[in-house]
Amino acid sequence: MKREPLDPLPLWLDLPPPRPRGGIFKPPPAEPVTRARPHDWRERMLEDMTLRGLRPRTKEHYLHAAQQLVRYTGRSPDLLTDDDIRAYFIHLHEERKLSASTLYVALNGLRFFCRHTLGREFAVFELLRVQRPLRLPVVLSLREVRTLLAAVRSPVGKMALTTIYALGLRLQEGLTLETGDIDAERLLVWVRNGKGGRDRGIPLPRPLLARLRRYWRDERPRAPSPHLFVAASKRPHSLHDTSLQKSFADARLRSGLAKRATIHTLRHSYATHLLEAGVTLRALQLVLGHKQLRTTELYAHVTHTGMERVHDTVDRVMADLCVSPARRGALL
């Protein structure tokens, strides 16, 4: 009797393969999945950091840390071992003598690279620790800030640095300010997509608003860009951070300022001046955009509030410290 052929199984019916007779069925071993192949690990890491929502500058630092590790070991990332990472950090500590902040960024970048891009856990990361010392920020006095700003040659650079100080901005926050960020009616400036992807409003001083209006009318290069600060060139574009840093360094030399100040020093000075004027730490935290209050508390260590009485007491106690013994006896 001739058998009729069986109808083929529908595609949605996913049955397991039949068990062979005479033994326990063992499925064939699965091929290992490689998270990051040697030729595409950089692209994979960039994708991982994008999915994680990291900022562009953080991406740049993390990718640089991974590239440095691969260059140091001279081998494919898939072949890295705990000893490789251990030896690399000893190299950074003992030979390159990198600062604690640089080591901290490298550690976080490599931990992200190994855990998320390579999909591997290394025991050495449980051992690695970076102790970051508490360094107080450099702060300029009110007079020093004004002397420094007066020494800036470029009108655009002077206005940009003045705005960064008057609003307590980070460098990139100042360079990306647009006309639409200024609320003249409410006297607020809105920082969009600041550190941590957060927006915040900052009180706009009336003198700064008047100065910005004069700058826009008389000094700003004509350009269709919405940015407040654009470079004066044949093809105007938004002011670059390197250009503003050069203007600041030149002004620091011209003003004779001895302190090791950077553009970020203007933000430190702004915070210290407000704290000394009576602004509370909580209010200052909101203005500066700090996620944690303990970050803002650092400025309490550099304020002069309450120190006047200490200075008077020290002067009185040490009054005869630097006089000759004969004069000291006469005073007694």
Q: How many CB atoms lie within 10 A of CB 48?
A: 21
Q: Is 264 a catalytic residue?
A: yes
Considering the candidates 158, 220, 267, 273, report the single residue annotated as catalytic.
Answer: 267
Q: Is 327 a catalytic residue?
A: no
Considering the candidates 88, 165, 215, 299, report the single residue annotated as catalytic.
Answer: 299
**Strands lying side by side in the sheet with 200-203:** 182-183, 188-191, 200-203
CA–CA distance, 25 with 323 (Å, rounded to integer): 99
Q: Is 116 a catalytic residue?
A: no
Torsion over CA: 86, 92, 93, 99 (sign) = negative
The SS3 of residue 151 is: coil
C-alpha gyration radius of the chain: 30
Q: Is 97 a catalytic residue?
A: no
Q: Is 299 a catalytic residue?
A: yes
CA–CA distance, 52 with 55 (Å, rounded to integer): 9
Tokens representing 325 are 């013994």
Considering the candidates 158, 170, 252, 268, report the single residue annotated as catalytic.
Answer: 170
193: left (phi over 0), alpha (psi -120 to 50) or beta: left
- Burial code (b: 16+ CB inside 10 Å, e: under 16) for 8-44 equals eeeeeeeeeeeeeeeeeeeeeeeeeeeebeeeebeeb
Q: Is 35 a catalytic residue?
A: no
Phi, psi values for residue 191, rounded to 5°: -95, 115
Considering the candidates 195, 200, 211, 254, report the single residue annotated as catalytic.
Answer: 195
Q: Which residues are known catalytic residues?
A: 170, 195, 264, 267, 290, 299
